[in-house]
Amino acid sequence: MTETTEKKNELASQPFQEMDVRDEGQILAEMRGEFLEQYVYSFNQGGKAITNLSYVGVKEAIRRRGHVQILDHKVEEVNGKYRATVLVHDLVNDIDVLGVSEAEVTKTFAYVLAVNKAERNAFMKLIPAKFYAELIKEKLSPNRPAPVNITPKPVSNQPKQEQIEEELIQANLLELLIIKKEEDNITIHYKTLLEKEAFKTVCGIVEKFGGKWVKENGVWIVPL
């Protein structure tokens, strides 16, 4: 490969690297319970306009499309990176797609970043191009209603404990913990001491549901 070709490839990959960094920011913000409004990224690169759905935009697109199921996910550490692979099933067309992504293990919540980006990449394969374009057009329309600036609580027909357990399963951490439902709270204890990143991941999931780590008691508490 010539130096000129390498330079062209580097320039071509810059927009995707930029969007990946922004998506990581959205994933971390979502973990903090923030309400995110940026469904579309739009910026100039080398005089050319680059427009694409953000992490939140992809999730909105797949929510509207529906009829998908996450079958499995795997995470391994390779050369200082968490490499996540997520298998998603299209219930309409009866096909499976894989999403793959990586995150440097030194990053905050690297495990969660890798898994969520892998999910995003799988979902993107199942969004029809026309629908993709229409959603971008909708979100860029100056006439669309202004979003309400609130931080919503998790909405689901499932009890809060089941929602937490599902997220812990996705993070491959449930088997390391003991979850109990008490009168006013859900308590989460660890069976054995957790590694630093695993501990941070549990904290992020708990905080998403309005809970916190109580250091003096060595337990996470989530109010019902």
Q: Where in the chain is the domain with CATH 3.90.1070?
A: 160-223
Nearest residue to 201 (alpha-carbon basis) of 114, 71, 126: 114
Q: What's the pLDDT score for residue 4?
A: 55
Evaluate whether 151 touches 54 at the Cβ level (below 8 Å): no
Condensed to tens digits (0 to 9), the pLDDT of residues 125-139 reads 999 888 888 888 888
**What does the DSSP assignment read for 116-142?**
HHHHHHHHHHTS-HHHHHHHHHHHH-T
Per-range mean pLDDT, top range of 17-21, 31-35, 70-74, 143-147: 70-74
Q: State the Cα–Cα distance between residues 194 and 216, nearest whole angstrom.
A: 17
pTM value surpassing 0.85: no
The third-level CATH classification (topology) of the domain covering 160-223 is: Hypothetical Protein Ta0175; Chain: A, domain 2 (3.90.1070)
Instruction: Tell me the average pLDDT across 85-102.
Output: 93
- For residue 9, pLDDT over 60 is answered with no
Residue 56 near residue 36 (C-beta atoms within 8 A): yes
**Tens digits of residue pLDDT in 31-69:** 887 878 889 988 776 677 778 899 999 999 998 888 889
Give pLDDT, residue 158.
61
Residue-averaged pLDDT of the chain:
82
* pLDDT tens readout for residues 169-185: 888 888 888 888 887 88
